[in-house]
A and B are shown apart, each in its own frame.
Chain A
Amino acid sequence: MNTPLRKVGMTMLVMVTLLLVNATYIQVVQADDYRTDGRNRRVLLDEYARERGKIVSDEAGQVLAGVKPTDDTFKFRRTYLDGPMYAPVTGYYSVLYGAGGLERAQDEFLNGSDPRLFVRRLSDMITGRDPRGGNVRLTIQPSVQEAAYNAMVSNGYTGSVVALDPKTGDILGMVSTPSYDPNTLASHVSQEQEDAWAGYNDDPANPMLNRAIRETYPPGSTFKIVTTAAALENGATADTRVTNAPQVTLPGTSATLENYGGATCPGSTLHDALKYSCNTAFAEIAASVGKQKLEATAANFGIGMPDLEIPMSVVPSGLGDLESDAALYQSGIGQRDVRLTPLQDALLAATVANGGIAMKPQLIKALLAPDLSTIEEFTPTELTGDPALSAANADVLKDMMIASEENTSGGGKDASLKIASKTGTAEHGSDPKTTPPHAWYTAFAPYDDPKIAVAVIVQSGGNHGLAATGGTVAAEIARTTIAAGLGGG
């Protein structure tokens, strides 16, 4: 019986060898694939044992996202100041659901694994200090953010506000409403996290959507800034004669395009057309400028730019196909397939304010080491490299926007703010005539020395229904924001 026993012994050896070979394959050959799989929570859990860096505002260094020591396994809990207000800026950081927004975009730096922090990590290791993440200082000004957020929320509006420094591209405020509270997602109680996550995701109002950069809307008349810029760049002047007809027929179709309220335009120069936001005039201007030149100007404003990151990625805005003159007519007034993010809309005003040069929007001012020494400071850069319009033409357009502001009603008017603006009331939906329009307002101030550019969109007219216009709904929000920005300095 010993011969078969020896053979069984050999079989046992073979079986264990198979296990060893397979373990080698899993733990040595394929180890990296498994280690780095997005569903492997261990990496995230390890980060939780480390003190994550803070996200601080520019002004006075207010801590927007900090950490609080806890006595459970994760050691630190993420805390957010005024969670819903800053959620579009900070994003969230959750044990179960990972990170979103800036928390994700700057994850490596915040969790301390960024190579730029290597030397500090080394010194932490030698001095026996627990490794910590780096801090991120934002361009956000709390006064601007607060004013914009409170104005939106107190009215119950769904929409977004973006405020930029036109000279640097710094994002001074970025609001999206309704919002969510990242604090609940940072809870270390799984059930709380799960409930919050499910609640936010099931909410039809979609509170976790960052409308400022992740959603595009038809810009309506605010797009006339682009159309005007294209016309000016291609030989038009403020005094160029344009149509003042109450309605025009779209070329090649029987459909008509009319001015707001079906009115005849009170003036017949380009200046008047922007001042009174005459649709018929801009429809014809867009067609006469032509597809290529309109697209070129739009591109210089940053429209259609892929891969823009602030450092969160921004969905590209776009003009659509512009395949016919009829399409050009409609696109010239910011309808049809023209779609902009609120950030891009703010860039329209900011570009005019900055003498025609679009600056790359940026949310991060500086990256700081755990000891708050500066590791990297961001310098303003041009967005596209080509001016959207010359400085002289920018001045012409600015004057038109000042005139437009004078012609715009709405609350929050204050002569001391010296605003240049353009409103927009954009039809949308499958049945545009019965769907309340999006109310837009994009502006910069003070017009003689621009310090802040703002875009506001209130989705579906806010509480004004079909009668909503950019002036009546959105303007007041923007003016309040501008006042906060200028008051704050």
Chain B
Amino acid sequence: MAQPAASPGAAGQQYTTNPPRELPTRRGTELWLLAFATGIVTFAFVLVQANQEQELSWSVVWYGLAYLSILSVAHLAVRKWAPYADPLILPCVALLNGLGLVMIYRIDLAQLAINDEATSNAPRQVLFTVVALVLFLAVLIIIRDHRTLTRYAYTFGLIGIVALALPALLPSSLSEVNGAKVWLKLPGFSIQPGEFAKILLMIFFASFLVAKRDLFMTAGKRILNVELPRARDLGPMIIAAVVCLGILVFQKDLGTALLFFGIVLVMLYVATERIIWVVVGLSMFFVGCLIAYQLFTHVQQRVANWIDPLATYDDPGGGYQIAQGLFGLGTGGMFGTGLGAGRPDTVPESNTDFISAALGEELGFVGLSAILVLYLVLAMRGMRGALAVRDTFGKLLGGGLSFAIVMQVFVIVGGVTKLIPMTGVTTPFLSAGGSSLLANYILVALLLRISDAARRPQQPAKPRPPAQAPIADAHTVMVQRPQPGLDGGHMR
């Protein structure tokens, strides 16, 4: 200890072998990509106007400015509060949200042309985007470290289940829109609590699975070479999942049920690293499907519509909508009719459930593929963050959230394109509707937070005190007894 107190520089030297360097935050990349997305969306707006009205109107400018300012705020917020976040996530979201806005606006124009009293959805969607942005900012600002979420895991889980159950328990007058009992009608506006429950429950599952992870893998019985967790360890998880699915089946919201099932299965698999969970889960799923098919006529109808929508074309609740969607996709063909030059409004619900059919018609297979790949890029970047983050909770939550994006897309686009039976879930960021947009922006904020944590350089700031030897090995030290008057003696 002859040296004077260690300088900070010297301490740094101690932890990095190479000369210290600034880790790039890549915010500039993000900005360029956002500008690129803005360019595409602006061009799309102009195309719609040119094809529909044959002239440019001021509304394009307003939508453009609103879109631009929302993006700018989001970008600045990420710069400030999540500087190391993945630079591709926000541009992907911006492009998807922008294309959705363009298509909603475009369908508005078509509907207004037929019926002067048709409601316009585009201004509402802009408003929802603004609210979504506020929530996005709130998540980034309040949750400075995603690990803090684990503290409220059980609370979130409870709120999630209540939110999911609420529409089913409330009278139809307060919860039913177009036959789907998944709403919560408040004065002035309505929300789908299930969209938010999705995220809350994922936080709960992630936290719970991480906490019990070791128990799952070691404390159970071995059956067929597989460690089965004890029921009491898995209990809350199974109860939560079963309650969710029960509620969803009761509400006849098959799409969300499918979504939940997929997410729970994947999170269980990631947490336990046992493929047997997927096998068991899928077997249960198929058995459940068979039972549901036997019991519910609406399930039978969905399946019939899926097998041949043209055959059930004229039946009430039959394949009309899917057939119209397929006609649109077919008419679009390889390269599409061009934005604003198709007839996407022919398909019922073309700005919500069937917006992918509308995009497929006007942008063609090429455009639809680009959008699907965009989702894949978004989810893969989220997954990258999950892989790189150091804590297991972050990994599990990040993986779950990323998978949730792809699962939503798979369920709805698969339904529209007749890959799987049609079930209603929203197309993330594209379809008109507030709840979905809000929830998915929160989801993205969490992904950004996790990827920020993953890429943030580890704090070397606090130099650790020199390693102390265990008490037993510590050498003895002479302790001088302080003596009064000795001070003076030193001075002498």
Contacts and interface: CB of A to CB of B under 8 A. Distances in A.
Nearest to A30: B330
Nearest to B406: A12
Interface stretch (B14-22, B91-99, B289-297, B407-415): B407-415
Nearest to B373: A16
Interface string A268-295: 0000000000000000000000000000
Contact of A4 (B273, B326, B332, B380): B273
A4 B368 contact: no
Nearest to B398: A5
Contacts of B360: 23, 27
A72 interface: yes
B481 to A, nearest CB: 56
Contact of A12 (B310, B342, B402, B418): B402
A32 to B, nearest CB: 7
A42 B328 contact: yes
A3 B386 CA distance: 12
B410 A15 contact: yes
Interface size class of A (residues with CB under 8 A): 35 or more
A188 B417 CA distance: 31
Contact of B273 (A1, A11, A22, A41): A1
A6 to B, nearest CB: 7
B343 interface: yes
Nearest to A6: B387
B190 interface: no
Given A4-B273, A13-B376, A27-B360, A41 B333 contact: no
Nearest to B213: A1
A19 B417 contact: yes
B334 A27 contact: yes
> Size class of B's contact patch?
35 or more
A26 interface: yes
A308 B334 CA distance: 40
Interface in B113-164: 113-114
A8 B269 contact: yes
B196 interface: no
Interface string A59-76: 000000000000011000
Contact of A31 (B310, B334, B406, B419): B334
Contact of A42 (B331, B369, B387, B409): B331
Given A12-B376, A42-B343, A72-B114, A19 B329 contact: no
A28 B365 contact: yes
A41 B380 CA distance: 39
B56 interface: no
A12 B334 CA distance: 24
Given A40-B327, A42-B328, A31 B333 contact: yes
Interface in B416-461: 417-419
Contacts of B406: 12, 15-16
Contacts of A16: 372-373, 375-376, 406, 409-410
Interface in A300-322: none
Contacts of A15: 406-407, 409-410
Candidate in B269, B327, B395 with the most chain A CB atoms within 10 angstroms = B327
B383 interface: yes
Interface string B252-277: 00000000000000100111010000
Contacts of B330: 26-27, 30-35, 37, 40
A122 interface: no
A35 B328 CA distance: 8
Contacts of B392: 1
Nearest to B313: A39
A189 B407 CA distance: 41
A18 interface: yes
Nearest to A190: B114
Given A26-B326, A31-B334, A40-B327, A4 B269 contact: yes
Contacts of A7: 269
A45 B361 CA distance: 15
Contacts of B419: 18-19, 22
B395 A23 contact: no
B364 interface: yes
Given A1-B270, A4-B269, A22 B414 contact: yes
Contacts of B41: none
A375 interface: no
B120 to A, nearest CB: 16
A28 B334 CA distance: 6
Contacts of A42: 327-328, 331, 342-343, 346
Contacts of A12: 376, 379-380, 383, 402-403, 406
A20 interface: yes
A18 B407 CA distance: 12
B399 A8 contact: yes
A284 B329 CA distance: 67
B106 to A, nearest CB: 12
22 contacts: A1-B395, A4-B273, A6-B387, A7-B269, A8-B269, A11-B403, A12-B376, A15-B406, A15-B410, A18-B419, A19-B419, A20-B369, A20-B373, A26-B329, A26-B417, A31-B332, A35-B331, A41-B327, A41-B343, A45-B346, A72-B114, A73-B114
Interface of B: 110, 113-114, 266, 269-271, 273, 310, 313, 323, 326-334, 342-343, 346, 360, 364-365, 368-369, 372-373, 375-376, 379-380, 383, 386-387, 392, 395-396, 399, 402-403, 406-407, 409-410, 413-414, 417-419
Given A4-B273, A27-B330, 8 more contacts: A5-B387, A8-B399, A9-B380, A13-B376, A27-B368, A42-B327, A42-B331, A42-B342
Those 9 A-B pairs whose CB atoms lie nearest each other, nearest first = A34-B330, A40-B327, A27-B365, A73-B113, A12-B406, A22-B419, A31-B330, A4-B270, A16-B376
